[in-house]
Amino acid sequence: MLTQTPVCCPVLESPLTDEEAESTARVFRALADPARVKLLSLVAANPDGEMCVCGLTEPLGLSQPTVSHHLKVLVDAGLLHREKRGTWAWFRVNHDAIAAASAALR
Amino acid sequence: MLTQTPVCCPVLESPLTDEEAESTARVFRALADPARVKLLSLVAANPDGEMCVCGLTEPLGLSQPTVSHHLKVLVDAGLLHREKRGTWAWFRVNHDAIAAASAALR
DNA sequence: CTTCTATATTGACAGATTTCGATTGATCTG
DNA sequence: CAGATCAATCGAAATCTGTCAATATAGAAG
């Protein structure tokens, strides 16, 4: 259960408050696992810009529940967008959130 | 004991290999804790561009060994540079590494 | 050489994370 | 409705992480 949407704050400009540091670290924590980094790159690299779980399980070499878990972490962090269409769940990269994370390090 | 220097790879361009994903996640893992994000911002915001452990323990509200631990994680990830001068250890932000992490998300 | 001071390391513990198998829920198809 | 398929959730095991107190190390000062 997510209580608030994570927001990335500029890290190098001025000392962050506890809340800002917590919120920023939350986003980077979502990027702190190789499986999730790979998931992001797989979804982003797909020509259609979206993929379903069924297309992600095999290239990751992890079980379906594990992939589902990692996708949830990315969605909760705001880095992926999930859309359920019929039985399938389609994921797209949230480029705004990624850009915010990138900008936080400049 | 660090076996290899972490390298950030562009996440959104093409699917990453296992090694690239591992290496990239390692850098973000260093940013995945509020104490370390705060440490980075404290060092970066300091006019001199460097700080010693003694100046970082109090604003973090953590014990000296814990701060020392977090600083080691940041140094191992290449995000901070440590220079021992006498009894003091001075830390500077490695702006190249930070820029690489930022660029990996573009 | 002894003492003091600043960091680093060790050891221990609690809590979080990763992972899977089994199950559930939801939707499509016959 | 019955069966099949895709994804999410649950429960549990193993591992990793953050934290501190205690100790070690290394340089500075007397």
The string of pLDDT tens digits covering residues B41-81 is 999 999 999 999 999 999 999 999 999 999 999 999 999 99
The reply to whether the CB atom of residue A95 sits less than 7 A from any atom in nucleic acid chain C is no
A64 touches strand D (CB under 7 A): yes
Considering only CA atoms, which of A84, B16, A48, B22 is closest in space to residue B5?
B22
Model confidence pLDDT, tens digit, residues A71-102: 999 999 999 999 999 999 999 999 999 999 99
What residues are paired with A61 via a beta bridge?
none
CA atoms within 13 A on the CB side of A38: 21
What the block records as the tokens of B10 is 């562009």
Q: What is the mean pLDDT of chain B?
A: 95
**A-chain residues within 8 Å CB-CB of B24?**
34, 37
Would the CB atoms of A24 and B34 count as touching at under 8 Å? yes
Contact list in A for residue B106 (CB cut-off 8 A) is 99, 102
- CATH 1.10.10.10 is the classification of domain A18-104: yes
Contact residues for B87 (Cβ-Cβ < 8 A; gap 6+):
none
**Cα gap B25→A23, rounded to integer Å:** 18
Rounded to the nearest 5°, which phi and psi values hold at B42?
-65, -45
Residue bearing the bigger pLDDT, B1 or A97: A97
Chain A residues touching residue B99 (CB < 8 angstroms): 105-106
B106 interface with A at CB cutoff 8 Å:
yes
Residues, chain B = 106
Paired tokens of B34:
């509020």
pLDDT at A3 over 60: no
The domain spans of chain A are 18-104
Query: Which pLDDT does position B31 carry in this prediction?
Result: 98
Give residue-wise pLDDT tens across range A28-75.
999 999 999 999 999 999 999 999 999 999 999 999 999 999 999 999
